[in-house]
Amino acid sequence: MRNILKIIPFLIALLLAFFTLSSAAQFKVTRVYDGDTVKAEGYDIEIKVRLLGIDAPETSKKKRDPGQPYSQQAKKHLAGLILNKDVEIKGYGLGPYNRILGVIYLNGKNINLEMIRAGLAEVYRGKPPKGFDSKPYIQAEVEAKETLRGMWSLGDKYISPREWRKMYK
């Protein structure tokens, strides 16, 4: 049983690698965990997807703590865009915590990019996977900052999700 559990993430990554090489795969989003992580179902599997190229404000693990400013808005916005909808997911492999790194499209619209445009996520600062172009994400962040959308309205009080995680480990 343990060996089967170890191979499941590999099989999922293999399945999404196939879709990456051919086209995006169709899935239905069944849960939104936060502003950059969702659960989707399709092809008789359930996958956890980390939206590639973005980093949304951190939600709290404690019930009564709202977490980082704009974390709840990011989660609600993402849910409003894709929850219970059929989407296309272009996979870029497996990331930490056995989550698929993916770009989600709804009717051809890049949802990851929409989260940055709305000011509810920043560009992920880590090394992007091969074949991923972060230039449109960087441009969208510049525009969201200039217009003080979402979390950028906090000005000097804004703390990046990366820094927030370090502070509240």
Longest CA–CA span in the chain (Å) reads 53
Marked catalytic residue, from 50, 88, 114, 117: 50
Residue reference for tokens 């962040």: 141
Least Cα distance to 94 among 8, 36, 5, 1 occurs for: 8
Q: Is 50 a known active-site residue?
A: yes
Active site residue 162: no
Structure tokens at 104: 């989600």
Catalytic: which of 88, 99, 122, 141? 99
Cβ(80)–Cβ(21) below 8 Å: no
- The answer to whether 36 touches 77, Cβ cutoff 8 Å, is no
Which position among 31, 41, 46, 58 bears the catalytic label? 58
**Which residues are the active-site residues?**
50, 58, 99
